[in-house]
Amino acid sequence: MAVTIVFLGPLRDMAGADAIEATAPITWDGLLSAVNPKVAEQLRDDRVNVACAGRVLADKTSLNAQDGDEVALLPPVSGG
């Protein structure tokens, strides 16, 4: 099994994919190197959130995704 990294909103265009798979476990540093440099730069923006296994992380740098977890990269929302 692996970790699935899901790109939401404009990050999907930057990543050029809806999702990618990466080898577990994935930490913050691992996440930054698993995505392309453009997405990694966005991830460092405070307004971009990270969710793991359906929960938004209060501190995204504490990411520790295990086998089977889905990690979602959440850019700022643009409203309903």
Partner 1 sequence: MRDIRLLPEPFIPGALIEPFTNANPGLGGVCTFVGEVRAEDSVEMLELSHYEPLTLPGMEVLADKAFARFDLMGLLMVHRVGRMHPGEPIVCVSAAAAHRRPAIEAVDFCMDHLKSAAWFWKRELKAGAWSWIEPRAEDYADLSRWD
Q: For tokens 């889905």, what's the residue?
A: 70
Q: Check residue 43 for interaction with partner 1 (CB under 8 A).
A: no
Asked if residue 24 lies in contact with residue 3, where contact means CB atoms within 8 angstroms, the answer is yes
Q: Check residue 13 for interaction with partner 1 (CB under 8 A).
A: yes
Q: Check residue 80 for interaction with partner 1 (CB under 8 A).
A: yes
User: Judged by CB under 8 A, which stretch of 10-18, 27-35, 37-45, 57-65 contacts partner 1?
Assistant: 10-18
Asked if residue 5 lies in contact with residue 22, where contact means CB atoms within 8 angstroms, the answer is yes
Q: Which of 15, 51, 63, 65 binds partner 1 (CB under 8 A)?
A: 51
